[in-house]
Chains A and B, each alone.
Chain A
């Protein structure tokens, strides 16, 4: 069963949700986690996203016109920082990997099963 772990960070600012720990995960923490997940043989794919400040939004309206805007969606308090796709037997195993992810300490990790067709 494949699950995507969406590693979410919180943007600083008034009234924003607070992460369990302050600060940001270090590169070493993520490297160690990456190594662990690879050695366990459960990793399908993973990626780290560049700063949300470099995001660009695209929407297409009814007339087929493209609307391109700068930046992340303004109201969104969270940003996606990276992801892991893992293949494990069940949700509990996926939750274990999510809990070990450094992102869970500084933000939150959303676990989503990949839809099966």
Chain B
């Protein structure tokens, strides 16, 4: 336990992540890295109260963990063969290396992220490994957040670790040829963690809400390590600008509130400031990418005093741009909604109806809810009620179902 009675790992969370990454990159073995990281932290807890905190705590921890790893390799012949490439490291002469200064210790978390999000692993495993090893969550926490039994998550992580080790997935930032696609996978995993948590914020599920914070934390680490990468900046901006509305998204009865009806004074101004700054940065001197354009759209919403006063013309243009970058039915749907605000409900409805044949959309509550909304604005109440009813049947979270049912009820009642 740490000074305030917290578990050691919580006190040293940042250091733990960096240490683990450093050792994983060095030895190519997550199990070994994890074990010696824990041992080094324990050694710190035992010795620092007596000897005082060293001038370079991370360097002290890194040196201690590395020695423990080398000792273990020397004792364990099988491990030594497995890590044959590292024999040179076990050379006693090299153990006398001077303790590096903090700023010279590489932050290998980027390498670790690329290994955890390697395309040779499936998406569930990528997500689990990233949360476990980069974010430092426990297996039980991840299992709870993703609503799977702890044993299932443990098995998934073990298989993933095994594959990294057996097929020797490198802990390395991919070269320029590969970087673009590989970074896309890392960003996708982080955003998936975010959306998983964000969906949960609707029903006050605090454990799952943590995923939102974890995703933002991961994006911050990535942004610190790749400050000039506009996709990373865009993703961080998008998440901040979306999460800024957290307090206003659900009412006291757990019913979702649409963007239009949210109390905008509850939105987090400092997150909006930071997010807007990052979105601008991501779009300045860089061609637009899907993350930075989505962030720009979120920024326009966040800066508007009301739905009516939103710069819908600009939002629509950005959706045109986003559709050119990622022509998906969901983007087309959001573009149709922007058109319904910019040009009027009839134009919006026309665009929505044109999407009726999209196989993915007809089964999504968003499309039906958007139809209900435009139909209601046009005064077609019975049709709006039917659309909202269908949307409520397809929605997933209790907050959304409650909101959509209430809408259906409202328009079904003859006035």
A residues lining the B interface (CB < 8 Å): 1, 3, 89-92, 95, 111, 113, 115-116
Q: Do A113 and B168 form a contact, CB below 8 Å, given A91-B120, A92-B174?
A: yes
Question: Inside 8 A of B167's CB, which chain A residues have their CB?
Answer: 3, 91, 111, 113
Known A92-B174, A113-B166, A116-B82; 20 more pairs at CB < 8 Å? A3-B167, A89-B85, A89-B168, A89-B170, A90-B168, A90-B169, A90-B170, A90-B172, A91-B118, A91-B120, A91-B168, A91-B169, A92-B169, A92-B170, A92-B178, A95-B120, A111-B167, A113-B167, A115-B166, A116-B81
Question: With the chains together, A95 CA to B120 CA distance in Å?
Answer: 10
Q: Are A92 and B172 in contact (CB under 8 A)?
A: yes
Question: Inside 8 A of B170's CB, which chain A residues have their CB?
Answer: 89-92
Question: Inside 8 A of A1's CB, which chain B residues have their CB?
Answer: 168
B residues lining the A interface (CB < 8 Å): 81-82, 85, 118, 120, 166-170, 172, 174, 178
The smallest beta-carbon distance between B255 and chain A, in angstroms, is 47
Question: With the chains together, A1 CA to B166 CA distance in Å?
Answer: 10
Question: Inside 8 A of A92's CB, which chain B residues have their CB?
Answer: 169-170, 172, 174, 178
The smallest beta-carbon distance between B118 and chain A, in angstroms, is 8
Between A and B, 23 residue pairs with Cβ closer than 8 Å are A1-B168, A3-B167, A89-B85, A89-B170, A90-B169, A90-B170, A90-B172, A91-B118, A91-B120, A91-B167, A91-B169, A91-B170, A92-B169, A92-B170, A92-B172, A92-B174, A95-B120, A113-B166, A113-B167, A113-B168, A115-B166, A116-B81, A116-B82
The smallest beta-carbon distance between B28 and chain A, in angstroms, is 8
Question: Inside 8 A of B85's CB, which chain A residues have their CB?
Answer: 89
Question: With the chains together, A111 CA to B167 CA distance in Å?
Answer: 9
Question: Inside 8 A of A111's CB, which chain B residues have their CB?
Answer: 167
Which chain A residue lies CB-closest to B85?
A: A89
Question: Inside 8 A of A90's CB, which chain B residues have their CB?
Answer: 168-170, 172
Question: With the chains together, A95 CA to B169 CA distance in Å?
Answer: 10
Question: Inside 8 A of A3's CB, which chain B residues have their CB?
Answer: 167
Question: Inside 8 A of B172's CB, which chain A residues have their CB?
Answer: 90, 92
Question: Inside 8 A of A116's CB, which chain B residues have their CB?
Answer: 81-82
The smallest beta-carbon distance between B91 and chain A, in angstroms, is 20
Which chain A residue lies CB-closest to B165?
A: A113
Question: With the chains together, A115 CA to B169 CA distance in Å?
Answer: 15
Question: With the chains together, A22 CA to B81 CA distance in Å?
Answer: 44
Enumerate the 7 nearest inter-chain pairs by beta-carbon distance, A residue then B residue, closest first: A90-B170, A113-B167, A90-B168, A91-B167, A1-B168, A91-B169, A92-B170
Most buried by B among A3, A90, A111, A116: A90
Question: With the chains together, A89 CA to B172 CA distance in Å?
Answer: 12
The smallest beta-carbon distance between A113 and chain B, in angstroms, is 5
Question: Inside 8 A of A115's CB, which chain B residues have their CB?
Answer: 166
Question: With the chains together, A88 CA to B174 CA distance in Å?
Answer: 16
